[in-house]
Structure 1
Amino acid sequence: MVPITEVEGRRLALSNLAKVLYPATGFTKGEVLHYYATVAEVLLPHLRDRPLSFLRYPDGPGGQVFFTKNVPPGTPEWVTTAEVPRSEGPARMVLAQDLPSLMWAANLVTEFHTPQWLIGAPGAADRLVFDLDPGPPADVVDCCEVALWLRERLAADGIEAYAKTSGAKGLHLLAAVRGAVCEQTSRYAKQVAVEAEAALPGLALHRMTRSLRPGKVFVDWSQNAARKTTAAPYTLRARDTPTVSAPVTWDEVAACRSPERLELRAADVAPRLREYGDLLAPLLNPRTARPLPGEGR
């Protein structure tokens, strides 16, 4: 019998709660759902009005993992969906606008990925993102060095960056922007990545060529494209352990001397929220958004 839970007046069938999804730690599906219920207050504002892409791992990261953008079969009628333009034709995607929708989506066992624009203005960028991806033997400690350089470089253009772990091996840098479309943020991000490679030639890399990656930090600027998505703040990741893409302070980035310092798991998030609140909350304040150099000034 599948247990039925009522969430804010919506009836949800939550299945297989005892199923172990993270064998390395014994973390169960029930714990996944509890985690999302716990962080919903800070997670939902970062998802709201952004069409969701799902990276699903219903049998854990060791099972089948697949990416879907279209509305999944069986989606309840009360879950908000919206038509989204795509090069191959419009598609209908899910919006997680409230707690019942979030818990329904979490029951699918998924990472949450979002674009850098809102559904009301597809392709009009409100976020700038850099995904710092280390090529072994480089690790997140090297990402931190690149992140600190990028922070200063963006600040020189009046743009304030915020950091979060990727939940995998690297770091994400995010900033609130206005008055630009995704083609412009992509162009600007690529230029900054090129400058990072020139300034940190033994460490940073802006080119996607895999043979160049070992020992370097790839400054991935490409996720600013309108069609691309990035792991959302506070999403669990399909890794061996229940790691989270979680905000970190710049002091933590500067002090990082070992990868373990910035490996944040589900159990770490609630205490951090009590200590710091949502470190990415400024991204949600329109007054913090800044124009790109030469755009909308």
Structure 2
Amino acid sequence: MTPITEVEGRRLALSNLDKVLYPATGTTKGEVLHYYAATAAQALLTHLRDRPVSFLRYPDGPDGQRFFTKNPPPGTPSWVRTAPVPRGEDESARQVVVQDLASLMWAANLVVEFHTPQWRTDAPGTADRMVFDLDPGAPATVVECCAVAVWLRERLAADGLSAYAKTSGSKGLHLLVPLEPAPADRVSAYAKRLAVEAEQELPKLVVHRMTRALRPGKVFVDFSQNAASKTTAAPYTLRARPEPTVSAPVTWTEIEECRAPRGLTFLAHDMGARLERYGDLLGPLVDPDRARPLPVVR
């Protein structure tokens, strides 16, 4: 029998709570739902608010089928908010917008990663933040990503911009920069310029092109997620990895002192203590006073 629970006045059917989703750690679906409800909800909702959400679904765990969807899943309750989004020729496309705990728990019950664009539903294609996805090519690891992150932080600071970091929850790092609203294509152009500069300054460490043959032993500085059509894993989302890793905000001290990949690997059970100690390290991203204008690309 599927248990029914009530969340903020909404009735939810939560299914398969004893199902093991992460065999490496024995983590069950019930534990995943508890993470979202009791640990991550407040901080995660802050970063999902007013952004269309895409889902990477992995209902049978990371070793099972995985599929990415931007459309509201079949059976989406009528009370879950959706918003119109531009998508090619389809002017009627809509996506879920997770605004409250009930919607978050409904989505989490589907077993999903949460992904969002760099813009909000009231201004499609106008970014209020910039992202760099630092992706290491083996044998490089997150340790090399940290060195690149420090270079990018200083380069951004030279242009009056502040960078905040989180783990990808996979192998790398994400750098996020709060911006005064700017067209996504301008943000992409600026981010590409910095990726090219990083490769010029750190040629043994950085590559700015996606070509697989160029990436072994280097960090790919992926600027492409600034495109209006692209998305990035949201802060605090769990990832479909062998362990229940989190895309976890980190301090610059942690980045500067990282000497081994495990030093920047955080699991669901780590996050309560981190939030209690640091609060939301990415809070500045949603503080309008922290936003700065995008430099002009000449």
Range into which the TM-score falls when normalised by the shorter chain: over 0.9
Cα displacement string for residues 74-123 of structure 1 (whole angstroms, at most 9, x for unaligned residues):
00100000111111413111000000000000000000000000000000
Partner residue, 1:80: 81
Distance 1:165 1:13 in 2: 32
Aligned position for 1:9? 9
C-alpha distance in structure 1 between counterparts of 2:190 and 2:210, whole Å: 17
1:68 aligns with 2:69: yes
| Distance in structure 2 (CA, Å) of the matches to 1:179 and 1:166 | 24
Q: What is aligned with 1:97? A: 99
Q: Runs of 5+ in structure 2 lacking a partner? A: none
Q: What stretches of structure 1 of length at least 5 have no aligned partner?
A: none
- Report whether the alignment pairs 1:139 with 2:145: no
Deviations 1:126-167 (A, max 9, x none): 010000000000000000000000000001111100000000
Query: In 1, Cα distance between the equivalents of 2:122 and 2:181?
Result: 14
CA displacement, residues 12-53 of structure 1 (integer Å, 9 cap, x when unaligned): 000000000000000000000000012101110100110000
What CA RMSD, in Å, does the superposition of the two structures yield over aligned residues?
0.7
**Could you tell me how far 1:125 is from its partner in structure 2?**
0.5
**Residue correspondences, number:** 295
Match of 2:54 in 1: 53
**In 2, distance between residues paired with 1:133 and 1:12?**
37
Aligned to 1:281: 283
Q: Distance in 2 between matches of 1:42 and 1:105?
A: 16
Give the aligned residue type for 2:115.
H
Using structure 1 for the length normalisation, give the TM-score.
0.98
Q: Which residue of 2 aligns with 1:22?
A: 22
Structure-1 residue corresponding to 2:185: 183
Q: Distance in 2 between matches of 1:229 and 1:263?
A: 22
Aligned partners of 1:179 and 1:73: how far apart in 2?
A: 33
State the secondary structure of the residue aligned to 2:18: coil
TM-score using structure 2 length: 0.98
Counterpart CA distance in 2 for 1:294 and 1:213 is 29
For the residue of structure 1 that corresponds to 2:30, the secondary structure is helix
- Between the aligned residues of both structures, percent identity stands at 72
Q: Alignment partner of 1:271: what SS?
A: helix
Secondary structure at 1:291 match in 2: coil
Cα distance, 1:180 vs structure 2? 1.1
Deviation at 1:294, TM superposition (A): 2.8
Cα shift at 1:179: 3.6
* Cα distance between partner residues in 2 of 1:227 and 1:148: 28
Deviations 1:215-261 (A, max 9, x none): 00000000000000000000000000000000000000000000000
Paired residue secondary structure (1:111): strand
Residue aligning to 1:251: 253
Between the aligned partners of 2:128 and 2:166, the Cα distance in structure 1 is 17
Q: Amino acid of the residue matched to residue 74 of structure 2?
A: P
In the TM superposition, what is the alpha-carbon distance from 1:58 to its structure 2 partner? 0.0
Number of the residue aligned with 2:122: 120
1: distance between equivalents of 2:249 and 2:98?
20
Pick aligned residue for 1:204 from 194, 206, 225: 206
